[in-house]
Structure 1
Amino acid sequence: MLQLQPETLSNLADLESREWLVTNGIGGYACGSVSGLLTRHYHGLLIAALQPPLARTLLLTKLDEQVETASQTYALQTDRWANGALTSLGYRLIEQFRLEGTVPVWTYACGDARLEKRIWMAPGANTTYVQYRLVSASQPVTLTLKALVNYRDHHSHTQAQDWQMQIEAGSDGLKVQAFDGATPFYLQLPGAAVALAHSWYRGYHLAVEAYRGLYPYDDHLHAATFTARLVPGQPLMLVASTSPRPDLDAALSHRQQYEQALVERWSASLSQPSPAWLNQLVLAADQFIVDRSVAGQPGKTVIAGYPWFTDWGRDTMIALPGLAIAASRPEIARPILRTFAQYLDRGMLPNVFPEASETPAYNTVDATLWYFEAVRAYYQATQDRALLADLFPALVDIIDWHRRGTRYQIHLDSDGLIYAGEPGVQLTWMDAKVDDWVVTPRIGKPIEISALWYRALTSLTLFAQILERPADPYQQLAAQTRQGFQRFWQPQRGYCYDLLDGPTGPDDALRPNQIFAVSLTPDLLPAAQQKAIVDTVAQQLLTPYGLRSLAPDHPNYHSRYGGDRQQRDGAYHQGTVWSWLIGPFVQAHLSAYRSPAAARQLLQPLADHLRSGCIGTLSEIFDGDPPHLPRGAFAQAWSVAEVLRVYRMSVSCSALGERGGGDGEDFSPI
């Protein structure tokens, strides 16, 4: 259980900067600020995935709650308006906030009454449950809920004007249809009196959207008011769903049992007791794994981050070893690997599946190479020779396409290194682009791409040997790459070029990408060079929450991430800290220093972060300069995954002794 400290609850700035998230396993979610203030376009109690896992649509925004005792009425909501006014101030009544698993729980003090509220979602359904329980009171209270609804893409905003929704009373609730052809949704509170309404509340001010330089206002429709008597020991539960007949008896205990089983499975797989904060991350990992059908057949995929990302090829392959393998759920990886294999085209995986179900975009050079890494981690965990045999032809095809050349000038050059890029296209994970401006184009030979290529070749060599197929061609290619890779080393600086053979020559900027030359494989660089890279990155790029994307002494360094789209994307990979990079750094540190205890200590600040940002999970990015405030997506798959992965790796190394293995020990997943 994670609980916020009392001093946090008394400060509105602290409360509105902390958020909560629940998900349904098909792309839908609910989220908000702990304070109850709407601060993002994405905040809502039911954001339904109408075409799972996409077409995410805000349906139920919030419930304005009012508790009436014998002597006083208490409004629990807090609102900020376009004119700057702050009304209701219900956040002052929050006596406690905690997570029970992934379920957020508020305790409100209303005179002598103590009211608990819990929110969760039904797995596999666009259904949210909001439960109210009177923990203690001298007598029953009256609970009034104003339901504020919408019907818009979760990225968007509403200017209502004269929009008329269709609202119909029904058994224990109401049906809302935003317009003809819209998916209807239903609000039910058994035993409550329901008064229909149709009143637009206009001009909510969204502070985070203002910070991000976006339109910071929104309108929501008061659709109905529910009134019910709340008695100690007799909880009330409002259900919001796209189903006219949702499961009204969905016990909270079902979710609690499910989450307990996930934690027990993780803990049982470790050779030492798991800290509570790691158990929480195991539950956070589950929030990113969602269903995706392919050609009418059920499959799985990974949501890259909440609230705005969809399933990205690169993010999925980087995250999969942590979300599935490290979390002791390898069966999750199998359908995901199969799902993405069906989207391979010209030796490339899609970079992103657009929200509007358009053709997948293939603008990535590294997603396909990370696919090898995910397959390798899966095989190590399962010894699933059948799946390996099924995927092997596709893996061979990927190598062949890179040898002869594919999109965007991606090809194997004569020095054994991978060239990629052309003007106007962003292909590596440093992929920010504003209109026609590619912020970090990295045209040429990015260091991590050739490191991944080498790792893919050694993986394919291993797979060929397991399947008794010819392996010599891949061994020869790997030897060529290992020899050519020395071109990256800068002896005068003691670290590697970030890029070779670019339009203006090599790029000597100190970036974190060279850490992959150490973390992915033990033999791509000499040991002395590997240690020098780890030391240099630690001195200039390491922060408590991950690695900076650019050294602070570089003229393009940005210390703070914020502002409009051009300002934000201009800083995205120019100094901003990325928490997922703590994974490869810890792995490289293990390789260089053989100290699992020191490696685990590097993860501790992220444990502390679970009580800031989005409670119970890890943020995508942080400011480059102290105090390194969390930014970007408030819950990021690869951030969570990499911490789980390298924590498990450090435990495995501890089991071998504090030395972490013998000389030349390979700290990669297999």
Structure 2
Amino acid sequence: MSYLKFDKKLMINLEQSLPKEMLRTNQSGAYHCTTIVDCNTRKQHGLLVVPVPELGNSWHVLLSSLDETVYQHGVPFNLALHRYRGGVMSPNGHKYIREFDCENVPRTTYRVGGVILTKEKIFISNENRLLIRYTLVEAHSPTTLRFRPVLAFRDANELCIANNALDQTIPQIDNGVSACLYPGYPTLYMQFSHKPTWTYEPNWYNGFEYVKDLERGVPYSEDLWVPGYFEVPIKKGESIIFSAGLSEVSPRSLARMYEKEIAQRTCRSSFFNCLKNAVKQCYLNDGDSMYLLSGYPWGKILARNTFMALPGATIAINHREDFEKIAATSLKALRHFMATGELDSRINGIDLPDIPLWAIWSLQQYAKAYGREDAAAKYLPEVRDILNFILSQRHPLLKVDSNGMVNTEGTEKPMSWMNASLGGHPIVPRSGLLVEFNALWYNALIFASRLAEGTPDETRFREAAEKMAQPFIATFLNDFGYLYDYVNGTYADPSVRPNMAIAIGLDYSPLDRRQRKSVLDIVTRELLTPKGLRTLSPKSYGYRPSYLGSPEEREMALHNGPARPWLMGFYSDAYLKVFGMSGVSYIDRMLIGFEDEMSNGCIGSLSQLYDANPPFSGRGAISHVTNIAEVLRTLTTLKKFIMD
């Protein structure tokens, strides 16, 4: 099966090709993102988008695009494509595309009369540099390529308007030019492996429109600056490499740099390899520290997403060392918070009440993969400190009740992963006893008691778990056979939500097999879709299946219907615990819905959420680490289950 190859018929049909996006990152924070026809459809798209720490924690679009034109006999054939004011598409370069292939590196093949030209893009690992290789496969007469760099130098979440404040100085460097449009920005170096001719011809190009932002009801039009153009003659069989980076490079090194980088790539020729590449794009190396970004194109480093995604993003792809590096960075931030109450400057939400519980869950997956002894030697002190922090009532947002269960105050501020809010107040005010918090708490205590086997902590943690087992069942299990989502005083929320799937998917649960099956039946009947679990049953009040409309309408829908792929990880765990080997083929069939997504949305990846009703369209962030990681973990769990 060819996963990421698209032919001429699809590429020239903009209704089919424009919704398909591609993403490449350098694992150091920089990325390249656009559509497969190289037409930017959202403000976060760009050829080179980089973090600029001096200007805050956001990404910044430096090079928006590079417009190519093929010249033969003095006749121009413009390969670029943009949407301008009023929905005008120009200059329609997509009509020359014959194929787009993204299995190894993104490669576009153009045919202009007798000219066949390929374009391949690749990021240099851990360096803010993008390389584009142009190869003239076929030509019957002298050919020249013209390149117009389209510059933005703006925050990826803002828009640019024509102004006189920019620095129009364009110094020439070895085989190229450099630019720095505004103070505080790094210099962008644009160079070629062959010596080009540079023509300084500065102009504002006005009225670029981004249709994705238009659909979202946010500002969507901007002006971009083009300082001039390069021209390079090219011969049949010859390749020319363009470099865009934050440092000057020797043009002679570009070909060697390109070949070295491409040799390290894993071909996206299978479902697993697509997800493996996608999850590694969310790695963020920063000196001695290593993080997971929550996703693209507007993700952050979030404590909850990090611990939830960590096992699937590392262990599932056999990257044990990366687990240990990311865990070390995140646990250091958690330890610092527990000791001082201070927040972390890079990892957002380290103070939220369920972070310690998800941290222990991720360490539990490490123990399952590499053995209890190794896990105890490396992480038992961490687990013990986290549980003692909670048991001693030192966590400001998570308290232990007299019956052993944990509670949080979430009426004024969202405390769980269902954190949509309007005006600072939670849309779903989950407060008091939350079902997944208490399930994770019980699971953490039993896991810790087994990790601490032979020590006094073994008995102490086990007794704490046993104390809350019956209260958990009495509090959450209702007469209809499913679990209340949260219980706050005398109010028990009857909404059918997927948090109960987490409760029955954990390794250790107060529920017996019969009770788990009862809950599983409700989840399957009311929440399961081909793209994960709905965040609310269609039978429950307030169901909103589609993530569409104004920002307020989308926020209202966020956790009231749309499906989340990451929840399939816990659903699959629960299904295999209840049905054993007889459930393997069923879960395998359910994964087909995610495999289908490899050629939709952000190709080779999974979106943040999906509409809860057919056709289950992808929405939100185009690549989401928790979704990718949990589907990877499910694939690995399924394989291991079969082998065992």
Shared fold per TM-score greater than 0.5: yes
Please state how far the C-alpha of 1:110 moved relative to its aligned partner. 1.0
Asked if 2 retains the 8 angstrom alpha-carbon contact of 1:60 and 1:147, the reply is yes
1:624 aligned counterpart, secondary structure: coil
2:16 equivalent in structure 1: 14
2:445 equivalent in structure 1: 457
Please state how far the C-alpha of 1:348 moved relative to its aligned partner. 9.7
The one-letter code of the counterpart of 1:571 is: A
Please state how far the C-alpha of 1:181 moved relative to its aligned partner. 3.6
Classify 1:611/1:510 alpha carbon distance in 2 versus 1 (closer, same or farther; 3 Å): same
2:254 equivalent in structure 1: 248
Classify 1:198/1:71 alpha carbon distance in 2 versus 1 (closer, same or farther; 3 Å): closer
Aligned length: 634
| Higher mean C-alpha displacement, 605-614 vs 477-486 | 477-486
Please state how far the C-alpha of 1:333 moved relative to its aligned partner. 0.6
Asked if 1 retains the 8 angstrom alpha-carbon contact of 2:484 and 2:495, the reply is yes
The CA distance in 2 between the partners of 1:400 and 1:630, in whole Å, is 41
1:197 equivalent among 197, 201, 204: 201
Q: Aligned pair 1:587/2:573, yes or no?
A: yes
2:102 aligned counterpart, secondary structure: strand
Asked if 2 retains the 8 angstrom alpha-carbon contact of 1:351 and 1:360, the reply is no
1:494 equivalent among 472, 481, 486: 481
1:616 equivalent in structure 2: 604
1:568 equivalent in structure 2: 554
Classify 1:142/1:61 alpha carbon distance in 2 versus 1 (closer, same or farther; 3 Å): same
2:52 aligned counterpart, secondary structure: strand
Task: Report matched runs for 1:476-555 at 5 Å.
Answer: 476-501=463-488, 505-555=491-541
2:321 aligned counterpart, secondary structure: helix
Task: Report matched runs for 1:252-291 at 5 Å.
Answer: 252-260=258-266, 276-291=270-285
The one-letter code of the counterpart of 1:318 is: M
Asked if 1 retains the 8 angstrom alpha-carbon contact of 2:42 and 2:213, the reply is yes
Give unmatched runs, 5+ long, in structure 1.
Answer: 264-274, 657-670
Please state how far the C-alpha of 1:525 moved relative to its aligned partner. 0.7
Give unmatched runs, 5+ long, in structure 2.
Answer: none
1:302 equivalent in structure 2: 292
1:237 equivalent in structure 2: 241
Asked if 2 retains the 8 angstrom alpha-carbon contact of 1:341 and 1:391, the reply is no
1:343 equivalent among 313, 333, 336: 333
Classify 1:349/1:35 alpha carbon distance in 2 versus 1 (closer, same or farther; 3 Å): farther
Asked if 2 retains the 8 angstrom alpha-carbon contact of 1:63 and 1:148, the reply is yes
Please state how far the C-alpha of 1:315 moved relative to its aligned partner. 0.7
Classify 1:533/1:7 alpha carbon distance in 2 versus 1 (closer, same or farther; 3 Å): farther
Listed one character per residue, the Cα deviations across residues 106-142 of structure 1 (whole Å, up to 9, x for unaligned) are 1112112221111111111110111111222223421
The one-letter code of the counterpart of 1:513 is: N
The one-letter code of the counterpart of 2:613 is: D
1:161 aligned counterpart, secondary structure: coil
Classify 1:494/1:470 alpha carbon distance in 2 versus 1 (closer, same or farther; 3 Å): closer
Please state how far the C-alpha of 1:253 moved relative to its aligned partner. 3.5
The CA distance in 2 between the partners of 1:302 and 1:348, in whole Å, is 23
Listed one character per residue, the Cα deviations across residues 635-660 of structure 1 (whole Å, up to 9, x for unaligned) are 1111111111111111111113xxxx
The CA distance in 2 between the partners of 1:521 and 1:491, in whole Å, is 22
Asked if 2 retains the 8 angstrom alpha-carbon contact of 1:21 and 1:31, the reply is yes
The CA distance in 2 between the partners of 1:378 and 1:198, in whole Å, is 56
1:100 aligned counterpart, secondary structure: coil
The CA distance in 1 between the partners of 2:584 and 2:16, in whole Å, is 34
The one-letter code of the counterpart of 1:292 is: D
2:322 equivalent in structure 1: 332
The one-letter code of the counterpart of 1:226 is: F
Task: Report matched runs for 1:148-163 at 5 Å.
Answer: 148-163=150-165
2:627 aligned counterpart, secondary structure: helix
The one-letter code of the counterpart of 1:64 is: D
2:67 equivalent in structure 1: 64
The one-letter code of the counterpart of 1:327 is: I
The one-letter code of the counterpart of 1:528 is: R
The CA distance in 1 between the partners of 2:311 and 2:379, in whole Å, is 17
Please state how far the C-alpha of 1:608 moved relative to its aligned partner. 0.9
1:117 equivalent among 107, 116, 119: 119
The CA distance in 2 between the partners of 1:67 and 1:627, in whole Å, is 40
Q: Normalization by structure 2: what TM-score?
A: 0.93
Classify 1:395/1:192 alpha carbon distance in 2 versus 1 (closer, same or farther; 3 Å): same
Asked if 2 retains the 8 angstrom alpha-carbon contact of 1:349 and 1:367, the reply is no
Classify 1:160/1:394 alpha carbon distance in 2 versus 1 (closer, same or farther; 3 Å): farther
The CA distance in 2 between the partners of 1:87 and 1:174, in whole Å, is 26
The one-letter code of the counterpart of 2:138 is: S
2:79 equivalent in structure 1: 76
Q: Percent identity?
A: 27
Q: Normalization by structure 1: what TM-score?
A: 0.90
Asked if 2 retains the 8 angstrom alpha-carbon contact of 1:610 and 1:618, the reply is yes
1:28 equivalent among 10, 21, 30: 30
Asked if 2 retains the 8 angstrom alpha-carbon contact of 1:346 and 1:406, the reply is no
The one-letter code of the counterpart of 1:49 is: P
The CA distance in 2 between the partners of 1:9 and 1:359, in whole Å, is 40
Classify 1:115/1:384 alpha carbon distance in 2 versus 1 (closer, same or farther; 3 Å): farther
Classify 1:538/1:348 alpha carbon distance in 2 versus 1 (closer, same or farther; 3 Å): farther
Asked if 2 retains the 8 angstrom alpha-carbon contact of 1:195 and 1:225, the reply is yes
1:138 equivalent in structure 2: 140
Please state how far the C-alpha of 1:551 moved relative to its aligned partner. 0.6
Please state how far the C-alpha of 1:310 moved relative to its aligned partner. 1.4
Please state how far the C-alpha of 1:7 moved relative to its aligned partner. 4.1
The CA distance in 2 between the partners of 1:439 and 1:34, in whole Å, is 36
1:270 equivalent in structure 2: none
Task: Report matched runs for 1:331-480 at 5 Å.
Answer: 331-344=321-334, 345-347=336-338, 360-383=348-371, 388-389=376-377, 391-406=379-394, 409-465=397-453, 468=455, 470-480=457-467
Q: Aligned pair 1:214/2:221, yes or no?
A: no
Asked if 1 retains the 8 angstrom alpha-carbon contact of 2:82 and 2:89, the reply is yes
The one-letter code of the counterpart of 1:447 is: V
The CA distance in 2 between the partners of 1:222 and 1:352, in whole Å, is 42
The CA distance in 1 between the partners of 2:256 and 2:563, in whole Å, is 41
The one-letter code of the counterpart of 1:33 is: T
Aligned-residue CA RMSD in angstroms? 2.4
Asked if 1 retains the 8 angstrom alpha-carbon contact of 2:330 and 2:347, the reply is no
| Higher mean C-alpha displacement, 22-31 vs 50-59 | 50-59
